[in-house]
Amino acid sequence: MVSVFARFAPRLQQAIVARLGWSSLRPVQEMAGEALLNGKNAVILAPTAGGKTEASMFPTLSNLVDRQPVGVGAIYVAPIKALLNNQEDRLGLYTEMVGLHRFVWHGDTITSARQQFLGEPAELLMTTPESLEVMLVSPRVDEGELFSDLRMVVIDEVHAIAGTDRGAHLMSVIERIRRVSRHDIQRAGLSATVGNPEAILQWLQGTSEREGAVIDPPKRSSRRQLLIVHEPDQTRIAAAAAQVARGHKSLLFCQSRATAEAVAETMRRAGTTVFVHHSAVSKEERLLAEQEFHQGSDACIVCTSTLELGIDVGDLDKVLQANAPDTVGSFLQRMGRTGRREGQAANTTFFCETIDTVLQAIALIELAKAGWVEDAAVNDRCWPVLIHQLLAMSLASNGIAAEDAWSHLSSVPDFRGISREEFDRLIDWMIHDGSLVLTSGRLVLGPKAERRFGRRNFMELYAVFSSPQSYTVETINKQVVGTLNQDFVDGLVDGVSCFLLGGRAWAVFHVIHKDRSVIVESAPRGRQPTWGGFLPQFLGFHLCQRILDIVTSDEAYPYLTRPVARLLDEERERLQSLVEPRIGGIAMNDNGNEVVWRTFAGGKINSTLRYALGTLEPTWTITPDNFAVRVRDDNMTEAHFRSVVQDLKSEAFWQDETVWQSIRNALPGYRLSKFQPLMPQWVETEVVATYLLDVCGAKEWIARTM
């Protein structure tokens, strides 16, 4: 049998041996090379630093070397600019060693470099979904000339965008490019963690008629070092993390900017070399953190999920976690940053403030040990991006006919659940509302959309993900510190407010709204910092059910410290009489006016149960969280509550569309997309309901457990 390596272009074979010094390919590279060289689309799975990039790029470069493309022959898409910047040198080496070129195009790429690229296109384009959109609508870009010979699209960290607005946007853009390419564009998605790769492959294929393959080589067993520690507050977490991090290169993941900033400031005051890395820290500060950390040997980056993806910060010794991430996928991605060196174990130390986060950490570990990872839920009714794409296509090429728009949009997997009747109804609404104008049979951008998105040459329109206005934070000496969202800035008061950013406390000197800037000075000690609010954060059903298993068993876990093991025993004893293992417990409080229904069903299902119960008993005050639904009423009895819960078993209740329509109309007006102001009420209601409710999940849970 001919090896995959032997099928590569001779120039690539020579470069792999002579320039990289490789003597063999990894299993994932052998398997992926076979599939891609045979012309298949593929989802390629391998751990962090497992060779996925080479598994996709070597066959791609071999194809480009064998048949030099006219214009761009391949596109590498990353979900974030930081990952593009991080991969720039690596893919630059791979292209250069076979006589090809690569070009990085994103929001920070200077105009002169873009113009040079358009004059002499590189064979490999590295970009983001939003920058691809910019190219398609720009009058300076001849998309037909640039992409007519495009053959391959590689999407890195595909699990991070599949099923999201950005994923729907990317698929729509790829399908638009497909119309100008003379090839059936080959597609490859790269991921370390996804529970449903077959569904991701089907989504990725879009209109491609190529065969598909999931590349999932056997995982080699590796050592893992896990520890869960209890620290009752952020100050203690910072002190404990500093002690563990001393003498090592480590990442400390936090679940919010607020925690990251507070912990980093405390660690820095204690003498730890600390860098802060999250989306509100300026690009210069993030790059400095990555570079200095890469070169050092005794430092800690305190970060949010910005370092969860494949950004290379060198060999790590330790991964630390304040409390616990929300998903198994995030846990595996973070732990996978370690264990890369020979003889080193992948490791994570959790510093948990509460028993709830202790239970969450245990559940994540146990689900991962069982080989379970969350599915990426692909949504085929992605209204926000449908509206965005209508606007973008109406802006480009002097508008678009509704029939042509439907022909394209109905081919995108993320819109296939939307009917032609619904599409026409949306178009009629947007024309009536002034977002679109119908002229000479073509849809063009209307005055309402132009007022909202027309600034800076419509740059705000191109970023499909929620992108609230940001304010630049700078010192009175004009040093840029980072950015803040407008919602947070609106609550700041000159001379009074104080917040953390970049690991330091800043006092607000003056907010200049017309310049979108916040002028700050170093805050004196003792000033209490603040941060902004968040949408509800839901834990998933499987994670919460595993927590139920943990509190109703007597299993011991070797990675718990003795104090944490005692906390777990106390929680099990506390819940023993309150939780029925199969259906959760229903218990009254001592005052007789509140019932706690411990469902362990997850946030979305419990939110759905809340609204369902509210339709049956409108006077009840109902508060859900991820593990329970609390119901308060002065006339409450446990027997009455149980009878109402039994009413939820009625199939007629779940099928009564008038009930669910009234529920959807009563939902809070969360702003989930910047395109909501352009949505008709019936679309906006569905978007919010999809975020807050899981009717199918709640119905199935009731049927199975009651």
Q: Pick from 9, 5, 136, 137: which is nearest to 75 by CA?
A: 136
Query: Beta partners for 586?
Result: 597
Q: How far apart are CA 605 and CA 628, in angstroms?
A: 10
Beta strands in 117-178 (DSSP E): 124-127, 152-155
Q: Quick one: pLDDT at residue 533?
A: 36
Question: What does 72-111 look like in DSSP terms, one character per residue?
Answer: --EEEE-SSHHHHHHHHHHHHHHHHTTT--EEEESTTS-H
Q: Quick one: pLDDT at residue 468?
A: 46
Task: Please tell me whether residue 624 adopts helix, strand or coil conformation.
Answer: strand
The radius of gyration computed from the CA coordinates of the chain, to the nearest angstrom, equals 27
Q: Quick one: pLDDT at residue 169?
A: 92
Spans in the chain with pLDDT lower than 70: 1-2, 278-286, 289-290, 292-297, 306, 309-315, 340-343, 397, 455-460, 462-470, 485-488, 490-491, 493, 496, 502-503, 513-514, 525-536, 580-584, 590-591, 671, 706
Q: Pick from 335, 327, 326: which is nearest to 307 by CA?
A: 335
Q: What is the pLDDT of residues 339-394, one digit of tens each?
A: 766 668 889 999 999 999 999 999 999 999 999 999 988 899 999 999 999 998 99
pTM for this entry: 0.84
* Residue 108 token pair: 């920070």
Q: How far apart are CA 583 and CA 589, in angstroms?
A: 19
Give the up-direction half-sphere exposure of residue 589: CA atoms within 13 A in the CB hemisphere. Answer: 11
Contact 130, 463 (CB under 8 A): yes
Q: What is the pLDDT of residues 272-284, one digit of tens each?
A: 888 887 665 566 6
